[in-house]
Homo-oligomer: A and B are copies of this chain.
Amino acid sequence: MSEIRKDIVTGEWTIIAVERGKRPHDFKKNQAYGTQKDCPFCPGNEHQTPPEVLAYRDVDVNPNEEKWNVRVVPNKYAAVKEKKVVETIRGFYETITGYGVHEVLIDTPLHESTGGQFSTTQIELILKAIKERYMEIAKNEKIKYIQVFKNQGADAGATLQHSHWQIIGVPLLPDKQRHILDGCKRYYQHHQKCVYCEMLRYEQDSTLRIIDKNDLFICFAPYASRFCYETWIMPKQHLFDYGHLSEQHITSLAQIIKRLLVRYEKVFDDISYNICFMGSPQENMIDKYFHWHIQILPRLTNIAGFELSTGCYINPSPPELVAETLRKVDIDEL
């Protein structure tokens, strides 16, 4: 069973996975993280996951057999999976049943492959699969927000080494997305412009924090970077939704992601990071003021007490230095 509980003061929601019910001995460190033996995401072990909801194969075999390039399955240990959205007041707290969708996108059949080793074609397939699942889940009107993200490496919260993404659809708009949308709306009301379009214009003029660009996308280190070596990838064009990416967008985005991940892997050994698709729910006028983008958050230092108690980050790597360092990496062979 899972519940979504609201902090009555801050309004922040927490998903409490009641049925997981982790007890102290479940928190042993380094549990089988890297072992390939019996990895549920490796080809040949398809029976260890729930039946797939999507897979791309070059050959014509049955579902849940091998020979796939990308495979999406329901998460066996779903954080949200209740059948109904029921809101209750318990004493003086608010709770929603843990309704939702939680899927795993296994983005390579190779157990030890890291993002920078993926071919651009493989990244295109991954983006295509993300788009397809996003569009499918978005049909469910009870899902108010869909988060697509990747945890790469144990320091970034991955519990299995085999590379994968997660897609979580929840029956509410998370706090962070509410703040982002409020900020976008406020800017739009004052300036009749998209705040991210203006940011891109400013960054391209200044060039200080730009790392890479191609025909359709820009990669840069954001001005108020919270994480050491944080980068954002943003479409040049004002696009509010990644569910409507064209084939041309996917090709161009795959190329810029590949180049960025190679840069990271050349600069840092065994880097852990999160990739977060900053999407948006369907809302009135959202196409005017929201601009979707991707945030890549390296996990080079641990989040500490100051950040957790204030929400304010301390970052010892100025984004101007980060951009210069990543820009200079030799990626000519790509």
Interface residues, chain A, with chain B CB atoms under 8 Å away:
5-18, 20-24, 27, 79, 91-93, 145, 147, 149-151, 154-158, 166, 168, 170, 174-177, 179-180, 183-184, 187, 195-196, 198-199, 202, 206, 222-226, 228, 267-268, 274-278, 295, 297, 299-319, 321, 325
Contacts and interface: CB of A to CB of B under 8 A. Distances in A.
Contacts of A310: 145, 147, 170, 174-177
Q: Which of A24, A222, A268, A312 has the most CB of B within 10 A?
A: A312
A21 B318 contact: yes
Contacts of A306: 79, 147, 149, 166, 168
21 contacts: A5-B223, A6-B224, A7-B222, A9-B195, A9-B196, A10-B180, A11-B179, A13-B312, A14-B225, A14-B312, A14-B315, A15-B312, A15-B314, A16-B225, A24-B267, A27-B300, A93-B223, A149-B308, A154-B302, A157-B307, A176-B309
Contact of A17 (B177, B268, B316): B316
Given A9-B183, A15-B314, A224-B6, A303 B157 contact: yes
A12 B224 contact: yes
Given A9-B180, A18-B318, 14 more contacts: A8-B183, A9-B195, A10-B180, A11-B179, A12-B224, A14-B225, A16-B315, A17-B315, A79-B314, A145-B310, A149-B309, A158-B304, A166-B306, A176-B312
B91 A202 contact: yes
Given A301-B27, A304-B274, A308-B297, A318 B16 contact: yes
Given A302-B157, A308-B297, A314-B79, A10 B179 contact: yes
A8 B24 CA distance: 41
A277 to B, nearest CB: 8
Contacts of A299: 302
A169 to B, nearest CB: 11
A214 to B, nearest CB: 24
Q: Which of A9, A21, A222, A303 has the most CB of B within 10 A?
A: A9
Majority secondary structure of chain A interface residues (helix, strand, loop or mixed): mixed
Contacts of A321: 21, 23
Number of copies of this kind of chain in the complex: 2
A302 B155 contact: yes
Contacts of A277: 309
Contacts of A166: 305-306
A78 to B, nearest CB: 10
Contacts of A7: 183, 222-224
A306 B315 CA distance: 21
Contacts of A154: 302
Contacts of A92: 198-199, 202
A245 B276 CA distance: 43
